[in-house]
Amino acid sequence: MAKGDQPAVKITYSHLLRALRDGQVKEMTLYPREDLVQAQLKDGRTARVAVFNDDPQIPRMAEAAGVPFSVRYDPDEGAMAAALTNALLGVLLIGLLVLLLRRSASVAQKALGFGRSQARLQPEGSLAVRFDDVAGIDEAKVELQEVVAFLKEPERFTSIGARIPRGVLLVGPPGTGKTLLARAIAGEAGVPFFSISASEFVEMFVGVGASRVRDLFRQAKAKAPCIVFIDEIDAVGRQRGAGIGGGNDEREQTLNQLLTEMDGFEDNSGVILLAATNRADVLDTALLRPGRFDRQIMVELPDRRGREAILGVHARTRPLGEDVSLALWARRTPGFSGADLANLVNEAAILTARRQRSAIDEQSMNEALERVTMGLAARPLQDSAKKRLIAYHEVGHALLTTLLPAADALDKVTLLPRANGVGGFARTTPDEEILDSGLISRAYLDARLVVAMGGRAAELVVFGPAEVTQGASSDLEMVTRTAREMVTRHGFSELGPMALERDGGEVFLGRDWMRPEPDYSARTATIIDRAVQRMARSALDRAVAMLEPRRVLLDQLVEQLIEHETLSGETFRALVEADEQRRALAPA
């Protein structure tokens, strides 16, 4: 724009046509790429007007008015735009080709590695777990000390012709520390440690599991001496021939390959296979024979000393208050596994952190025990008829537990509900000697039946037969199950010393479509049902007979429980003993 020219102004399309008719336009220039007309007006202004694409009206009117009309088209600009468009398309095409090539390479790599073992390798010396970190299973640790010696000094055994065991099977309930024990063996021996779950062998594609087994042992031989740990081996080692059509399935082919690798024509010297399971009863017999799993080590639930040692291991990294006694908590947690105890201490630590305290105290431990055994706490019950009914129900259980010498010791009775729907509970501590020995007397089982009927008996004594509730439904289920076992398995009835039923095992598809028929006749089944009914009725009658003369004590205990909401076992026993002494001194 020359000096002194006015800037371009925008006018409408109709204004431009009117200016052409009135002769006010000096010259016009069309820019077809921009669909724009620039008009030089006679008053010196420059106007810019947007027009339609290929609009024929503007050129005709300019020609009719004698106005010079020119078209400006910049070829360089068009070429540049076309080149830029082509370049973008080319880059996009190349990017798509690279993406497809990478995707194809990834698929090919996965296809080639599909039959490779998925085991995780812990290099030599990388495991920090030692036998000192495993507590409560001293017998199993002693058995496994020789495995460590085999790995550290194999020549000491091979020089006299001893053969290193090929496999060691760890059998025990869940949470007893089988996996931790395997890691401790590798940590003590200082050898590479391969770990894999048995379920990772089995795939829906034929031959993949067997290929992975071969690859696992190939890797293990290259790293020998080493340990191969297969967790939950029952996922692949179940009995063969249990499937439909002869059992020729992928799982069985994987098991066959595992059997061959463990005791085939090749020598696996220096490779020790550790496996863990809690279902040794379903494993194939060929897998358990000597030469494959030479040793089977039972990893049982810890006893009282073992639980105290486990609590001590978990308390190393957690501050405990002076009021927390590990020996006392070991006595209060019979039947707990190592995982249960770890969860107990962890829950107590969480509660301590929530309260912003510096050490785990007895209150946190008590609340953690209730959380892991009974569930999360719910809102306390309001004073109402429901709360009083629950109080009578729970006091009935607790009172019979205290009065019967053969029953378990009462730990506490509470009305604080839990989130799982439990309105209250009377918790007992099982007898340690019974759990350790596994020998249960008939007197103990009879006492369990009477205690279980305590809630229903209290409702009958206080409210009468017409006002009993369904609150004892779970108690009745337990009574029925226990009484039936006493009759059919333990020989504690008039039927005599006969085992009429067996443990219910796993049902294999193709072998047992339905539950097997009982080994006794229909007449014997009727006799069994009547014996179970007599036991249940006898337990209820005995419970009512013990509670009726103690109706005053029952009311007093309920009032105490409603007032305090929780009574410890010591407090409850003191109240009962005081009443029993008063009754003994009262004149007949």
Three-class SS state of 96: helix
Three-class SS state of 364: helix
Q: Residue 417, preceding bond cis, omega within 30 degrees?
A: no
188, 347, 394, 459: the active-site residue: 394
Which of 291, 289, 287 minimizes the C-alpha distance to 251?
287
What distances in angstroms separate CA 501 from CA 145, 433, 564, one per listed residue?
Answer: 41, 27, 46
Is-contact 62 28, C-beta < 8 A?
yes
Residue type, position 175, single letter? G
Q: Provide CB contacts within 8 A for 380, sequence distance 6+.
A: 415, 416, 417, 565
Report how far residue 307's alpha carbon sits from residue 314's, in angstroms, rounded to the nearest whole number: 11
What distances in angstroms separate CA 31 from CA 10, 50, 68, one per listed residue?
Answer: 15, 10, 15
Tokens of 172: 């025990």
Report how far residue 398's alpha carbon sits from residue 396's, in angstroms, rounded to the nearest whole number: 6
Three-class SS state of 404: coil
Q: Is 570 a catalytic residue?
A: no
Count the residues in the chain: 588
DSSP H helical ranges for 226-337: 250-262, 285-288, 304-314, 326-332
Residue type, position 251, single letter? R
Q: Name residue, tokens 């194999």.
A: 154
Q: Name residue, tokens 């065991």.
A: 165
Three-class SS state of 419: coil
Helices H / strands E in the chain, number of each: 21, 14
DSSP conformational letter for 241: T
Residues designated catalytic: 394
